[in-house]
Amino acid sequence: MYIKKDVRLRSLCACMVPALIICCDFFNSIKKEIIITSGNEGIHKKGSKHYDGEAFDIRTYHLSKSEISQFQSYFRKRCDSCFDLVIEKDHAHIEYDDSEIFEEFP
Ligand SMILES: [Zn+2]
């Protein structure tokens, strides 16, 4: 695993650890390096979960289209209920999202 220079993970919430492990498992399975490109530093959208330590970004531009879609299904199969995975132009954004869990248990 590489963590890009200047990435801040100090306030990354412990709830993000399972998502990070699942991402690592996938990248290991395709024998490609996982590179974290953002934690809670930098400028993000207003209200972004990056500011609350509930999101991180990983590089995807070294993956093929097919590897990206394998990554999406691998991730969703394992933790779709409490995390959102959004594929952006050159990275994947992963954030904590327990709204579905609360809908099931009002
Ligand atoms: Zn992001």
Question: DSSP letters along 47-59, please?
Answer: T-GGGGT-EEEEE
Cα-to-centroid distance, 46 and ligand 1 (Å): 12
Pick from 86, 85, 80, 82: which is nearest to 97 by CA? 82
pLDDT of residue 23: 97
Q: How would you class 94 by CB atoms within 10 Å of its CB: exposed for 0-12, middle for 13-18, buried for 19 or more? A: buried
Instruction: Provide mean pLDDT across the span 6-13.
Output: 93
Cα-to-centroid distance, 52 and ligand 1 (Å): 12
Q: Identify the structural domains of the chain with CATH numbers, from first to last.
A: 2-104 (3.30.1380.10)
For residue 21, name the pLDDT band (cuts at 50, 70, 90). very high
Q: What is the mean pLDDT of the chain?
A: 91
Are the beta carbons of 92 and 85 closer than 8 angstroms? yes
pLDDT of residue 106: 54
Instruction: Provide mean pLDDT across the span 65-81.
Output: 93
